[in-house]
């Protein structure tokens, strides 16, 4: 199934900004992080279709996954 | 910092100054100082531009010391924009310099009798004030370069541009950065108009010959500062993300969260967000020979600021902050970073709050005055404000007035002040802060984004009303305290997450003043400041009905989450019951 993955800030270094991937049914955010060599600590903020998720969150066909390192501002 | 400089601009025969002891204001700094003076000395029903209003400028408790991050300045008055009490906070050099010169506050009061425009010069030998009508309608950048010519390049300036002289409700007060750029502003609430009404164009400060303020216990103070700085560099937000991308790293995250107000709060996502994001702009700045890492004052170790050059490599503006990029960008459907940087520069040099100005232009776009996405038209509108044309004066009066003049129903303001870059429907916690802060809609007053979106200091689901009042309350209390120390609010990311960094902040205060403050006493200070401010507002006629968001946030759901603002009125009213 197809999932769009977006990476931001320092996570883009040596990786990508946005890409589509084909995953097996039942894939979780944690699996994807592992496949991209991103630690759970680095993936501080995770959105699935604009809602907060975590490493255990499951994904489905067509989902948009956005991953941020710890960031702040204001 | 043991004296107050009072200048009566309305005295017979011209301005009269007086240096007095701190008296009952001893032990106060920053926002605690400005709000205490305003609450005590300004009649709540006075006209903000009249002789009874006062402009109070105060460094924080730790400003002028060797403590890192301690250079924030508070500016207080009755706000011409909200009609309530105002504390606007600025970075730049003036807080450090003013504190080293020994002043706990400058208070400008009275009503000038003529049309003269004054400059004030303060150094270790004293204070001089003189009329200088050659400065009339000068922009901030031109003014500061003239002051450098007159007083040398060791100075720090606090000034107003043409917007302040025209007493516009969105006029800011500019503070110079370490390289003498008037690029840091006490932006919100029209403080520049009050300075303009006092007839003061610029306060020039020179601390040559002054030393850093000495702590009571130097050894403990140094040790605490070391732990504090180490904590800030250890935390990923203050140590890495803010220096690398600045505050504008938030564009992508708020957009991904569906909380990025686009085209006057119509939807929560902007197709052009990537083009104006912190990632894109940091790369552009580096490519053009400037960069995203710069300290707005000496002693800042986070360095969230940056320098933005034009395509030929010449200085265009400082790195626009997230809220500026949003107000002039997504809110107006504009996705051109060069245009946004130009708008940032124009705002700084005319002396305008970037949030109020950008939001007013977006409201005018909603009315069809110009089209969404038309960057050149937005630049022209800001130039109209700088010139003071009738249209410029309307826009310079802020979003609420602009909305009324052009018959716009959906105007994002609370207490007359424009909402910044976070949709309160998609981040319910920030809606609570917008509604209840004594300042009007102000994100910094209780930055719930930290916990609602950034997962700093825990997590409270941004899309549900539960837990938001408690979150906003705690943040508003902590912020009121931090704003009194002179510390930059961005230390909050580290002190929320790292108990040892929080303790080092207490140790800095304790070793400097010989106190024994605990976490509880800091929170008591924050509560005291908020109580003083709330009390002023209620004496100025504010009621609980003023602690509400505009109606459309309750009735019009925003995409992509399809939510309205759901926190109940009774809950909002309980925010200050602690
Ligand atoms: S972190 Fe940013 S806003 Fe805060 S003091 Fe440093 S440069 Fe100024």
**Pair A70, A44: CB distance under 8 Å:** yes
Nearest CB to B240; choose among A10, A49, A73: A10
Question: Is cis: bond before B197, omega within 30 of 0?
Answer: no
CB B490 near ligand 1, within 6 Å: yes
Report the nearest atom of ligand 1 relative to the CA of B91. 8
User: Does ligand 1 come within 6 angstroms of the Cβ of B16?
Assistant: no
What are the 10-residue block averages of pLDDT along chain B, 578 residues in total? 96 96 97 98 98 98 98 98 98 98 98 96 98 98 98 97 98 98 98 98 98 97 98 96 96 98 98 98 97 95 97 98 98 98 98 98 98 98 98 98 98 98 98 98 97 95 98 98 96 94 98 96 97 98 98 98 98 96
- Indicate the residue of A10, A45, A49 with minimum beta-carbon distance to B253: A45
The Cα B237–Cα A7 span in angstroms is: 17
Please report how many Cα atoms fall inside a 13 Å half-sphere around the Cα of residue B366, on the Cβ side.
24
Q: Which atom of ligand 1 lies nearest, measured to the CA of B304?
A: 2
Which of B95, B249, B303 should be mutated for ligand 1, with most atoms under 8 A from CB? B303
Paired strand residues for B118: B131, B200
Residues of chain B with CATH 1.10.569.10: 245-423
Chain A residues with CB under 8 Å of a chain B CB are 6, 8-10, 12, 17, 44-45, 47, 49-52, 66, 68-74
3-state secondary structure of B55: strand
**Contact B91 CB / ligand 1 (< 6 Å):** yes
> How many angstroms does the Cα of residue B300 sit away from the middle of ligand 1?
6
Find the CB nearest B257 among A10, A50, A70: A50
Inter-CA distances, B189 with B76, B165, B261, B536, B577, Å: 10, 15, 21, 16, 26
Give the closest-approach CA distance of A65 to chain B in angstroms.
9
| Ordered DSSP codes for B349-385 | HHTB-HHHHHHHHHHHHHTTSS-TT-HHHHHHHHHHH
pLDDT at B506: 97
Closest chain A CA to residue B305: A73
CA distances (Å), origin B223, targets B215, B275, B301, B499: 12, 44, 16, 16
> Which residue lies with its CA nearest to atom 4 of ligand 1?
B488
* A45 with B560: Cβ contact below 8 A: no
For residue A59, the distance in angstroms to the closest alpha carbon of chain B comes to 17
**Rounded Cα distance, B43 and B85, in Å:** 11
DSSP letter at A69? -
User: What pLDDT is attached to residue B370?
Assistant: 98
Three-class secondary structure assignment of B101-158: CCEEEEEEECCCCCCCCEEEEEECCEEEEEECHHHCCCCHHHHHHHHHHHHCCCCEEE
Other beta carbons within 10 angstroms of residue B578's beta carbon come to 11
A28: phi then psi, degrees, rounded to nearest 5: -110, 170
The reported pLDDT for the residue numbered B68 is: 98
Integer angstrom CA distances of residue B265 from B189, B413, B566: 21, 11, 17
For residues B186 and B172, the answer to whether their CB atoms sit within 8 Å is yes
Looking at residue A8, its pLDDT comes to 98
Give chain A positions within 8 Å (CB) of B244.
9-10
Cβ-Cβ contacts under 8 Å, B275 against chain A = none
Query: What local confidence, expressed as pLDDT, does residue B459 receive?
Result: 96
Across the interface, whether the CB atoms of A74 and B489 are under 8 A apart is answered yes
For ligand 1, atom 2, the nearest C-alpha belongs to B304
CATH of domain B245-423: 1.10.569.10
Q: Which residues pair with B186 in a beta bridge?
A: B173
Most A CBs within 10 Å, among B256, B302, B495, B497, to test the A interface:
B256
- From B112, B124, B104, select the one nearest B199 (Cα to Cα): B112
Q: List residues bridging with B76 in a β-sheet.
A: B56, B87
Q: Which residues of B touch A71 (CB under 8 A)?
A: 237, 241, 245, 249-250, 253, 454
Residue of B179, B291, B295, B485 to mutate, ligand 1, most atoms within 8 A of C-beta = B295
Among the atoms of ligand 1, which is closest to the Cα of residue B302? 1
Residues in chain A: 74
Domains of chain A, CATH where assigned: 2-68 (3.10.20.30)
Tokens 């040790």 belong to residue: B223
Instruction: Considering the domain delimited by B3-205, tell me its CATH architecture.
Output: 4-Layer Sandwich (3.60)
Q: Is the CB of B33 under 6 A from ligand 1?
A: no
Per-position DSSP letters for B198-239, written without gaps between them: TTEEEEEE--TTPPPPPPSSHHHHHHHHHHHHHHHHHSHIII
Q: How confident is the model at residue A74 (pLDDT cuts 50, 70, 90)?
A: confident
Asked whether the beta carbons of A61 and A2 are under 8 A apart, the reply is yes
Nearest CA in chain A to B427: A51
Residue labelled with tokens 């109606």: B551
Does residue B300 line the site of ligand 1, with CB under 6 A? Answer: yes
Of A9, A50, A74, the CB nearest to B258: A50
Interface test with A, best of B241, B247, B478 (most A CBs within 10 A): B241
Non-local CB neighbours of B160 within 8 Å, separated by 6+ positions: B140, B171, B172, B173, B174, B192, B195, B196, B200, B201, B202, B351
pLDDT value of residue B1: 86
How far, in Å, are B41, B176, B239, B520 from residue B301 at the CA level?
36, 18, 9, 27
Tell me the C-alpha distance between B181 and B140, whole Å.
9
Pick the atom of ligand 1 nearest to B305's CA: 7
Instruction: Quote the ipTM score.
Output: 0.97
SS3 state of residue B53? coil
Residues of chain A contacting B249 with CB distance shorter than 8 Å: 8-9, 71-73
Q: Where in chain B is the domain with CATH 3.60.9.10?
A: 3-205
CA distance B152 to B150: 6
CB atoms within 10 A of CB A48: 18
> Do the Cβ atoms of B173 and B31 come closer than 8 Å?
no
Task: Report chain B residues whose CB lies below 8 A from the CB of A12.
Answer: 279
Q: Whose CA is nearest to atom 8 of ligand 1?
A: B296
Cβ-Cβ contacts under 8 Å, A44 against chain B: 236, 454-455
Nearest CA in chain A to B561: A50
Structure tokens at B306: 């940056």
CA-to-CA distance for A56 and A43, rounded, in angstroms?
A: 12
For residues B53-83, b (16+ Cβ closer than 10 Å) or e, as one string?
Answer: bbbbbbbbbbbbbbbbbbbbbbbbbbbbbbb
Contacts of B252 in chain A (CB under 8 A): 8-9, 68
d(CA B323, CA B134): 34
Classify strands B3-8 and B16-21 as parallel, antiparallel or unpaired.
antiparallel
Residues 6+ apart with CB under 8 A from B366: B263, B264, B408, B410
């Amino acid at each position: 199934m197809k999932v769009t993955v977006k990476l931001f800030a320092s996570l883009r270094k040596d990786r990508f900004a946005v890409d589509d991937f084909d995953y097996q049914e039942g894939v979780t955010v944690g699996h994807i992080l592992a496949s991209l060599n991103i630690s759970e600590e680095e993936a501080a903020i995770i959105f699935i279709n604009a809602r907060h998720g975590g490493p255990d969150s499951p994904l489905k066909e067509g989902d948009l996954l956005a991953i941020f390192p710890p960031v702040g501002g204001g | 910092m043991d004296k107050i400089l009072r200048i009566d601009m309305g005295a017979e025969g011209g301005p009269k100054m007086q240096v007095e002891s701190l008296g009952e204001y001893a032990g106060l700094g920053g926002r605690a100082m400005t709000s205490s003076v305003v609450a005590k000395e300004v009649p709540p029903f006075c006209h903000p531009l009249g002789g009874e209003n006062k402009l109070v400028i105060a460094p924080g408790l730790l400003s002028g010391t060797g403590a890192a991050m301690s250079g924030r300045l508070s500016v207080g008055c009755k706000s011409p924009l909200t009609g309530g009490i105002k504390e606007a906070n600025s970075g730049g050099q003036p807080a450090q310099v003013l504190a080293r010169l020994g002043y706990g506050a400058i208070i400008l009061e009275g009503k000038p009798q003529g049309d003269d425009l004054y400059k004030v010069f303060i150094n270790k030998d004293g204070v001089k004030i003189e009329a200088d009508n050659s400065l009339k309608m000068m922009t901030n950048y031109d003014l500061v370069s003239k002051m450098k010519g007159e007083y040398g390049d060791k100075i720090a300036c606090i000034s107003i541009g043409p917007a302040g002289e025209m007493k516009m409700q969105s006029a800011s007060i500019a503070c110079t950065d370490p390289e003498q750029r008037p690029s840091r502003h006490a932006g919100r609430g029209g403080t520049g108009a009050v300075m303009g009404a006092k007839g003061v164009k610029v306060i020039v400060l020179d601390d040559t010959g002054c030393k850093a303020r000495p702590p009571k216990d130097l050894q403990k103070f140094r040790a605490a500062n070391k732990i504090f700085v180490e904590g800030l560099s250890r935390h990923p937000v203050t140590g890495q993300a803010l220096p690398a991308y600045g505050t504008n790293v938030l564009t992508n995250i708020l957009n991904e969260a569906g909380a990025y107000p686009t085209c006057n709060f119509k939807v929560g996502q902007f197709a052009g967000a990537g083009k104006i994001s912190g990632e894109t702009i940091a790369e552009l700045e580096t490519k053009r020979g400037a960069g995203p890492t710069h300290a707005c004052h000496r002693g800042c170790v986070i360095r969230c600021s940056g320098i933005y050059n034009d395509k030929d490599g010449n200085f265009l503006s400082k790195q626009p902050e997230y809220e500026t990029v949003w107000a002039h960008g997504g809110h107006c459907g504009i996705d051109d970073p060069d245009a946004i940087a130009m708008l940032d520069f124009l705002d700084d040099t005319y002396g305008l709050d970037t949030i109020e100005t950008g939001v007013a232009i977006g409201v005018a776009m909603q009315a069809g005055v110009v089209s969404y996405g038309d960057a050149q038209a937005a630049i022209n509108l800001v130039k109209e404000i700088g010139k003071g044309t009738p249209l410029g004066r309307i826009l310079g009066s802020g979003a609420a007035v602009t909305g009324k003049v052009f018959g716009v129903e959906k105007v994002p303001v609370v207490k007359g002040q424009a909402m910044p870059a976070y949709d309160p429907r998609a981040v319910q916690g920030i809606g609570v802060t917008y509604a209840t802060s004594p300042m009007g809609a102000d994100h910094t007053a209780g930055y719930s984004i930290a916990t609602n979106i950034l997962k700093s200091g825990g997590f409270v689901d941004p899309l549900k009303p539960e837990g938001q009042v408690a979150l906003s309350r705690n943040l508003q209390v902590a912020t009121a305290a931090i704003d009194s120390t002179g510390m930059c609010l961005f230390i909050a990311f580290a002190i929320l997450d790292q108990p040892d960094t929080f303790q080092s902040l207490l140790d800095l205060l304790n070793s400097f003043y010989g106190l024994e403050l605990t976490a509880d006493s800091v929170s008591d200070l924050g509560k005291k400041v908020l109580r003083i401010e709330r009390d002023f507002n209620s004496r100025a006629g504010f009621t609980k009905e003023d602690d509400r968001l505009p109606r459309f946030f309750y009735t019009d759901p925003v995409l992509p989450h399809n939510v309205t603002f759901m926190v109940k009125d009774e809950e909002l009213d309980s925010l200050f019951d602690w």
